[in-house]
Amino acid sequence: MRRGGKRRWLVDYPRAVPLAIFLLVAAVTVLSVFAIERGERVRENADLSRQADAMVSAIERRAYSSSSFLRAGAALFGSQQSVTGDVFRQFVSELRLDADYRGAEGIGWAPAITDNQLAAVEEQLSFGRVGQMNVRPSLQDDPRKQLVPVLFLQPDTLRNRKALGFDMYSEPTRRAAMDEATRTVRPTASGRVNLVQDSGPDEFGFIIYMPVFDGRGAQRSLKGFVYSPFNASQFLTSASELITSPEAAFRFFDVSGGKPLLMVETENWVDDGHTVERDVDLANRRMLLVVQSKRDMALSPLSLITLLFGLAVASLLLVVARLLTQQAEEDSRSLEWFAQQNSIRNSLTRELNHRVKNTLANVLSIVSLTRRRAESLDEFAEGIDNRIRALSATHDLLTQSEWGTTPIAAVISVELAPYINANDHEVVAKGPDVELAPNDALSLGLAIHELATNAAKFGALSCSGGQVSVTWELVNPHLARIEWIESNGPNVEPPTKRGFGIDLIEKIVAHELRHPVELEFDPKGVRCRLMAAVREPSEFALRSKYAAAKLDQ
């Protein structure tokens, strides 16, 4: 039952079942791809977090190294009576900046002075120079009492010489960092600034300051700052060199007042991508690092393979399911056809049995009546032979029509065939196209045979010039009237006793046709009127149904 139920689903829903299978497999495939992509995202987040942590560590290591150098410089310069060029250059040479101080523009010294000390500092700036160097911005443009001009900056490059003489205390961001460094006495990074060395307005960096004091305790005074300027791009590049696989893209922000200010981003940064943020403690200042995955939003190779394989399997199952539904439909049609054939065969068997019984009943009646009316064995044999032949001729006619409807004209033509072509008498048969059921055609054939036999022996067909007219017409759509009229034959005298023909026509034929038969022995010729029902073919045309059903299959 369960297996048959499954096959019924294939037959009842021939298109829905394959589509449902396709959608089910496609849904499983999509879920699998989703799970794979989710795993890839988790792995990607882990890798991105690892790279972000590694980059933060590298940045803080760079900042810590710079702070260590600045602390050493502050300790050295604080012990000196004054920071001269020779002392500063000797200190920087010991640091080996090219090898150990990558990412920084160098190390500089900026004394903390008042406007009264400005002339001495400008003289020191101009020593060994071709022209006069002044502190900028000038006090005329920006009056101020506290100045922190750049006095020394190593390495001595054309780029770094641009910064000499610049009063860093005149710029608010630098001033805030120096004040914080003075307060905390520790290396302190500034916010985002445009370095004097940089020519472009979009180039940003930051500066780490370490205060240098003259004296100790409450008697100490600020001598100046040892500092390192950093170009943000170079600093981020040098930090990325410390991690093993810098595959991600980076953005570096200065956080000022809770608002991030972009300092630099790598060239491979894109606007839309998965990112991870990390806070960076860079020399006593909060900064923000944003790491972006280089992976695009397309499916991973494993997801793409899974998707293509799943869709291929879904399509294959769709085709297979469709073939199964077609096979199930064909099997169902075959079963229905076999059931229909079995029903038709059973019906035909019952109909054949019924008609054989009717035919045998007619034969028995003919035999019985012939035996009672025959006066000799030869007469009995001849009567039986003729009547069985007439019955057989009508049977042949019915067989040719596959036991469907039979035209009245065909029945009359078969029974009168021996007399139609004779030259000494005339046979006329005419009427509309009317067809009778098989049993009615057999009964009509027997009646016409008896009338023709009687006419050949005693009536119009027994002499020259005789005429037999057989006409028929429809009384109504369900009833036909057949009329036999003999003329120009011998005078007819009513029979003195009833013969077989009269009993056959008035009893057997009238019973089979379900209507009385009017048989009149007129002196001018025998007259006979029969009534036959015109029935619907569906009541008996089983053979026709069978043939039509067979053609439909």
Dump pLDDT digits (tens) for 363-397: 665 666 566 556 677 777 776 776 676 667 666 66
Note the CATH number of domain 337-552.
Answer: 3.30.565.10
pLDDT-derived band of residue 357, with 50, 70 and 90 as boundaries?
Answer: low
Of 54-68, 220-234, 503-517, least confident by mean pLDDT is 503-517
How many CA atoms are closer than 13 Å to the CA of 383, on its beta-carbon side? 23
SS3 486: strand
Q: Where in the chain is the domain with CATH 3.30.450.350?
A: 31-292
Q: How far apart are CA 226 and CA 209, in angstroms?
A: 6
Count of positions (residues) in the chain: 553
Higher pLDDT, 217 or 16: 16
Confidence (pTM): 0.55
Specify whether the CB–CB gap between 36 and 28 falls below 8 A: no
pLDDT at 100 over 60: no
Q: Which has the closest alpha carbon to 208: 116, 307, 303, 73?
A: 73
pLDDT value of position 229: 93
pLDDT-derived band of residue 539, with 50, 70 and 90 as boundaries?
Answer: low
pLDDT value of position 548: 45
Cis, peptide link before residue 149, omega less than 30° from 0: no
Q: How far apart are CA 439 and CA 391, in angstroms?
A: 11
Q: Where in the chain is the domain with CATH 3.30.565.10?
A: 337-552
pLDDT value of position 401: 59
pLDDT value of position 442: 80
From residue 518, how far is each of 341, 402, 448, 534 by CA, in Å?
44, 31, 14, 19
Question: DSSP letter at 252?
Answer: E
**Which of 3.40.190.10, 3.40.720.10, 3.40.50.10790, 3.30.450.350 is the CATH number of 31-292?**
3.30.450.350
Element (DSSP H or E) covering residue 384: helix 377-400
pLDDT value of position 373: 56
> CA angle, 171 as apex, 165 and 173 as ends, to 5°?
130
pLDDT digits (tens, 9 = 90+) for 249-260: 888 999 988 899
pLDDT at 353 over 80: no
How many CA atoms are closer than 13 Å to the CA of 348, on its beta-carbon side? 15
pLDDT value of position 71: 92
pLDDT at 457 over 70: yes
Kindly state the tokens that stand for 479: 């009833």
> What does the mean pLDDT of the chain come to?
81
Looking up tokens 């695009």 gives 296
User: Is beta strand 205-214 parallel, antiparallel or unpaired with respect to 188-189?
Assistant: antiparallel
Higher pLDDT, 55 or 95: 55
Q: Which has the closest alpha carbon to 469: 434, 516, 429, 507?
A: 429
Kindly state the tokens that stand for 66: 């710079």
Burial of 217 (0-12, 13-18, 19+ CB in 10 A): exposed
